[in-house]
């Protein structure tokens, strides 16, 4: 099993954890993934960004808004752990659709 496959297995478990903006958000889940990957000897990074995404504001109209978001990277591949793939969050935002403008990897 490759590093990426192992990381995806960990990510799938983290995606099923309930999302909470204060205690279990995209940054916290990404840090958990990084820690577990490093424990298994898999090189991983966390990426924080300021980006743009389409949001369904007040349930009335779609609008492009700025957001702060985080994800993990393993072997250069973006791994979203905040929610299951394709599942919208608050305001209909799908994390994989966030277009980063400024990124910081750590």
Question: pLDDT tens across 30-68, in order?
Answer: 999 999 999 999 999 999 999 999 999 887 899 999 999
**Distance of alpha carbon 78 from alpha carbon 66, whole angstroms:** 19
**Distance of alpha carbon 98 from alpha carbon 26, whole angstroms:** 12
Total-model pTM = 0.91
| C-alpha to C-alpha distances, 9 to 14, 41, 60, nearest whole angstrom | 9, 15, 37
Residue 15 pLDDT > 90, yes or no? yes
Q: What are phi and psi of 17, to 5 degrees?
A: -70, 140
Q: How confident is the prediction for the chain on average, in pLDDT?
A: 95
Number of domains comprising the chain: 1
Q: What are phi and psi of 97, to 5 degrees?
A: -90, 0
Q: Find the domain containing 85 and state its range.
A: 3-105
**Distance of alpha carbon 95 from alpha carbon 82, whole angstroms:** 8
**Distance of alpha carbon 82 from alpha carbon 16, whole angstroms:** 9
Q: Which of 89, 106, 104, 15 is nearest to 51 (CA)?
A: 104
């Amino acid at each position: 099993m490759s590093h990426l496959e192992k990381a995806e297995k960990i990510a799938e478990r983290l995606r099923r954890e309930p999302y909470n903006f204060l205690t279990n958000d995209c940054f916290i889940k990404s840090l958990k993934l990084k820690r577990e990957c490093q424990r298994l000897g898999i090189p991983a990074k966390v990426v924080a960004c300021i980006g743009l995404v389409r949001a369904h504001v007040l349930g009335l109209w779609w609008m492009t808004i700025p957001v702060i978001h985080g994800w993990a990277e393993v072997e250069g591949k973006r791994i979203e752990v905040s929610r299951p793939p394709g599942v919208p969050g608050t305001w209909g935002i799908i994390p994989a659709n966030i277009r980063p403008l400024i990124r910081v990897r750590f």
